[in-house]
């Protein structure tokens, strides 16, 4: 059985830019796929193709068992979309916004009204329900936008950078909502630039760059791909770097690297916590004082750098084609900000 969200060879070009260059996706029902990538990687374009907003140049897309290209309007009944920019009418109140969306999902006026009240309650917006949305804070708007996407409890949800621009507290709150949603059986495709977010929320992760999926798997799987664990030691005195390096060389599975100014030494290892204890004993025996020691597993940031050769944050800025689209998106963002 194909998943609740399925794509095969999606291609979308904008002029010379191949925003999607043959993307395959398969999200099993009831799971979360994190689409991870820098600005301009093609994440938003992928979401727009899957939610019927954009027509791909070629490829196949099936959402909730329905062919997206052949039956877009049927797909629209089964999906909820929450975008990068809170898609609510700022002159309408929260209640009016939700009621309108409900009616446009073809609910009767009365049912839409009842559902709006229910969602306002659930998203903690009841107090602000009858104020125009433009008086809402960023976090409240995002909650309202998410509520709008959930009006008909769609089986398949798309969230395009749901927490971009939110403060940590609001991000945390939104994560809780998303987790609750998924525990109820919703299939979710989530795009994010935050490696931590993908790690936290997604069952599977697809790393995208230049419109291609460059790696896929669970967070653990991807971390393992990048290389195993390593031991980091910070010695107390700079002159202890050399003797400590000798100790680590004895235990490590590779070259020891040392940074003089931070007095930090790193060595790849296998053997985990048991080995760590042995290293501590040996350093102690030789009388080497340490400030810090730890076993480090690679972060998704490390994964990203090892896969793309650049960190997630500055990817858009430092390479050709992708950079061009990154700039377009930035200009777009600036424009949208200005409109607000």
Between the CA atoms of 26, 32, 35 and 36, what dihedral angle is there, to the nearest 10 degrees? -140
Query: Least separation, in Å, of the C-beta of 179 and another protein?
Result: 23
> Does residue number 273 form part of the binding site for another protein (CB under 8 A)?
no
Exactly one of 15, 16, 73, 184 binds another protein (CB under 8 A); that residue is 73
Closest CA to 243 of 251, 235, 252: 235
Q: Report the chain's terminal Cα–Cα distance, integer Å.
A: 44
Exactly one of 39, 45, 51, 163 binds another protein (CB under 8 A); that residue is 51
> Does residue number 52 form part of the binding site for another protein (CB under 8 A)?
yes
Choices 51-59, 193-201, 237-245, 249-257 (CB under 8 A): range interacting with another protein: 51-59
Choices 48-56, 162-170, 237-245, 280-288 (CB under 8 A): range interacting with another protein: 48-56
> Does residue number 8 form part of the binding site for another protein (CB under 8 A)?
yes
Q: Give the nearer residue to another protein in terms of CB position, either 165 or 271.
A: 165
Exactly one of 39, 84, 192, 193 binds another protein (CB under 8 A); that residue is 84
> Does residue number 29 form part of the binding site for another protein (CB under 8 A)?
no
Site string for another protein, 225-264 (x = CB under 8 A): ----------------------------------------
Residue 293: how many CB atoms within 10 A of its CB? 16
Q: Which residues of 89-116 are buried (b: 16+ CB within 10 A; e: fewer)?
A: eeeebbbbbbbbbbbebebeeeebbebb
> Does residue number 172 form part of the binding site for another protein (CB under 8 A)?
no
Note whether 224 and 193 are within 8 A (CB): no
20 - beta bridge partners?
Answer: 12
- CA 271, CA 251: separation in Å to the nearest integer? 10
Composition of the chain by helix, strand, coil, percent to 5: 45, 25, 30
| Chain mean position to CA 118 | 28
> Does residue number 91 form part of the binding site for another protein (CB under 8 A)?
yes
The count of chain residues that interact with another protein, using the rule CB under 8 A, is: 48
Q: Give the nearer residue to another protein in terms of CB position, either 155 or 227.
A: 155
- Judge residue 321's burial from the number of C-beta atoms within 10 Å of its C-beta, 0-12 exposed, 13-18 middle, 19 or more buried: middle
Site string for another protein, 97-116 (x = CB under 8 A): ---xx-xxxx----------
Exactly one of 21, 57, 96, 282 binds another protein (CB under 8 A); that residue is 96
> Does residue number 79 form part of the binding site for another protein (CB under 8 A)?
yes
| Chain mean position to CA 60 | 23
Q: Give the nearer residue to another protein in terms of CB position, either 49 or 178.
A: 49
> Does residue number 119 form part of the binding site for another protein (CB under 8 A)?
no
> Does residue number 34 form part of the binding site for another protein (CB under 8 A)?
no
Judging by DSSP bridges, how do beta strands 32-36 and 187-192 pair with one another? parallel
> Does residue number 62 form part of the binding site for another protein (CB under 8 A)?
yes
296 - beta bridge partners?
Answer: 230
> Does residue number 339 form part of the binding site for another protein (CB under 8 A)?
yes
Q: Give the nearer residue to another protein in terms of CB position, either 63 or 178.
A: 63
- CA 8, CA 10: separation in Å to the nearest integer? 6
Judging by DSSP bridges, how do beta strands 58-63 and 290-296 pair with one another? unpaired
Residues that bind another protein (CB under 8 A): 1-2, 6, 8, 24, 26, 48, 51-55, 60, 62, 65-67, 70-71, 73-77, 79, 81, 83-89, 91-92, 96, 100-101, 103-106, 132, 145, 148, 335-336, 339
């Amino acid at each position: 059985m194909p998943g609740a969200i399925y794509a095969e060879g999606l291609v979308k070009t904008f002029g010379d830019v191949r925003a999607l260059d043959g993307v395959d996706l398969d999200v099993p029902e009831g799971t979360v796929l994190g689409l991870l990538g820098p600005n301009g990687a093609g994440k938003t374009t992928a979401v727009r193709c899957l939610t019927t907003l954009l027509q791909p140049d070629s490829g196949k897309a099936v959402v909730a068992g329905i062919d997206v290209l052949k039956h877009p309007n049927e797909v629209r009944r089964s999906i909820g979309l929450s975008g990068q920019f809170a898609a609510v009418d700022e002159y309408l109140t929260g209640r009016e916004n939700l009621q309108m969306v409900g009616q446009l999902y073809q609910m009767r006026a009365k049912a839409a009204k009842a559902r709006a009240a229910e969602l306002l309650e659930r998203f903690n917006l009841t107090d602000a329900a009858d104020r125009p949305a433009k008086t809402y804070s960023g976090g409240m708007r995002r909650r309202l936008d998410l509520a709008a996407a959930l009006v008909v409890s769609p089986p398949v949800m798309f969230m395009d950078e749901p927490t971009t621009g939110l403060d940590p507290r609001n991000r945390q709150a939104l994560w809780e909502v998303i987790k609750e949603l998924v525990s109820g059986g919703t299939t979710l495709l989530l795009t994010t630039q935050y490696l931590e977010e993908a790690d936290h929320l997604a069952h599977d992760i697809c790393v995208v760059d230049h419109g291609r999926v460059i790696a896929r798997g669970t967070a653990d799987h991807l971390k393992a791909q990048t290389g195993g664990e390593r031991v980091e030691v910070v010695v107390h005195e700079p002159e202890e770097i050399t003797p400590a390096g000798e100790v680590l060389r004895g235990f490590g599975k590779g070259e020891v690297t040392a940074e003089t100014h931070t007095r930090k030494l790193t060595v790849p290892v296998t053997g985990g916590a048991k080995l760590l204890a042995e290293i501590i004993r040996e350093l102690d025996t030789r009388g080497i004082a340490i400030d810090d020691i730890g076993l480090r597993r690679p972060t998704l940031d490390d994964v990203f750098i090892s896969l793309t050769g650049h960190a997630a944050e500055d990817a858009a800025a430092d390479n050709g084609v992708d950079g061009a689209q990154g700039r377009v998106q930035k200009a777009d963002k600036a424009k949208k900000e200005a409109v607000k």
